[in-house]
Amino acid sequence: MKSRKVPELSLLSYVNGSNSDKIKFVDNIFSGLKDYGFIILKDHTIEQQKIDRAYELVQEFFNLPLEVKQKYKLENGGQRGYTPFKTEHAKDNKNPDLKEFWHVGRELSALSTYKGVYPDNVWPTEVAELKKTFLDLYEAMDLTSIILLESIAKGLDLPETYFKNMIHDGNSIIRMIHYPPTKGEDTKNSIRAAAHEDINLITMLVGATDSGLQLLERDGSWLDVNSKPGEIVVDTGDMMSRITNDILPSTTHRVINPSTDSSARFSMPFFVHPHSNANLSCIPSCVGKGAKYADITAGDFLNQRLKEIGLYK
């Protein structure tokens, strides 16, 4: 039996290709997300130098003393700024994840409906370049997410701007994650990221400095998600699962502990969220024998999930 492998696609074939290239990409991203919940983009529209510089600054920030990082811990459910080591846990799992992280969100105009609804960004003065670098990267990832969601919309027989409208002024975030060496930690009960599903529509993971990412197959086995430098791993979250009636399911995944307890890992997922007032109702082409999930706004669903993973009290 042929071993399974997460599909690898070319986003540039969709952006720059012929009409048949675009149709092929739409078919492949739809079938990949339906079957695996994950696909890998072997090329894309984000400049690698932006990603590389961001990773350098992430490491610089997390190397700061704990008392400096703690200055940026805010009472906002971890939605912006710093979240300390072993704060978050997976839903229905009391053991904390072995990670610390920092969130960067959208910079809204003063006239936006969501100014004051989403927490404002905070920026560490100790790493001067971090603000400009991450706002540039955020914009690049935001634009790339629109392209990806346009292709998914076509696969769902939706107007191609369906998701673009839903994520306009959306609450998307870049999460910079540091998984420290596991030496001295309770690695029997805690892993770097316990089995979970993402909350949002789609997640885009630009590189990672170490492996360990695995997805849960339908037969209960774990499949390694191996990407190379310069590639982007894309997966579907719970919001996409709800609105497609599980046609594009949210796939359980985890980050396992390393084979050596002295190695650290850094990663930067971009979680693509709708705006808070977006209604997560079932897409007409997915209703089938009836919608499985009740309507809820994206803002209410996010707050519900933040409580379930220990970030909102």
pLDDT in tens, 239-282: 999 999 999 999 999 999 888 888 889 999 999 999 999 999 99
Write the pLDDT tens digit of every residue in 189-241. Answer: 899 989 999 999 999 999 766 778 999 998 999 999 988 889 999 999 999 99
Q: Does residue 118 form part of some domain?
A: yes
CA 161, 166, 172: angle at the middle one, nearest 5? 120
Query: pLDDT digits over 174-199, tens only?
Result: 999 999 889 989 888 899 989 999 99
- Please report whether residue 292 resides in a domain: yes
Q: Is 235 within 8 Å of 37 (Cβ atoms)?
A: yes
Give a yes or no: residue 248 inside a domain. yes
**Do residues 152 and 65 lie in contact, with contact meaning Cβ atoms separated by under 8 Å?**
no
Q: What angle do CA 164, 169, 174 make, to 5 degrees?
A: 95
The rounded mean pLDDT for the chain is 93
If one counts the domains in the chain, the total is: 1
- The strand pairing partners of 104, in sequence order, are 174
Residue ranges of alpha helices (H) inside the chain are 11-16, 19-35, 48-62, 66-70, 130-155, 162-166, 238-243, 298-308
Rg (CA), the chain: 19
CA distance 4 to 293: 30
- Residue 82 contacts residue 310 (beta carbons within 8 Å): no
* C-alpha atoms less than 13 angstroms from C-alpha of 77 in its C-beta half-sphere: 15
Q: What is the mean pLDDT of residues 147-160?
A: 97
Placement of tokens 């939605």 in the chain: 79
Helices 130-155 + 19-35 axis angle, to 10: 90
| Sign, CA torsion 235/241/246/250 | positive
Q: Are 292 and 280 in contact (CB under 8 A)?
A: no
User: Is 208 contained in some domain?
Assistant: yes
112: DSSP letter: -
Residue 1 domain-assigned (yes or no)? no
Whether 2 maps to a domain, the answer reads no
Smallest CA-to-CA distance from 212 within 195, 199, 200, 188 is with 195
Residue 204 structural domain:
8-308
Q: State the pTM of this model.
A: 0.95
Q: Indicate the pLDDT class of residue 2, thresholds 50, 70 and 90.
A: low
Per-residue pLDDT averaged across 298-308, rounded?
90
**313: in domain:** no
- Examine residue 3 and state whether it is found in any structural domain, yes or no: no
32-76 pLDDT tens trace: 999 999 999 999 999 999 999 999 999 999 999 999 999 999 887
Please tell me the predicted confidence (pLDDT) of residue 260: 82
* Nearest Cα residue to 274 out of 147, 142, 81: 142
The domain spanning residue 118 has which CATH number? 2.60.120.330
Cα 8 to Cα 256: distance, rounded to the nearest angstrom: 22
* 285 CB neighbour count, 10 Å cutoff: 13
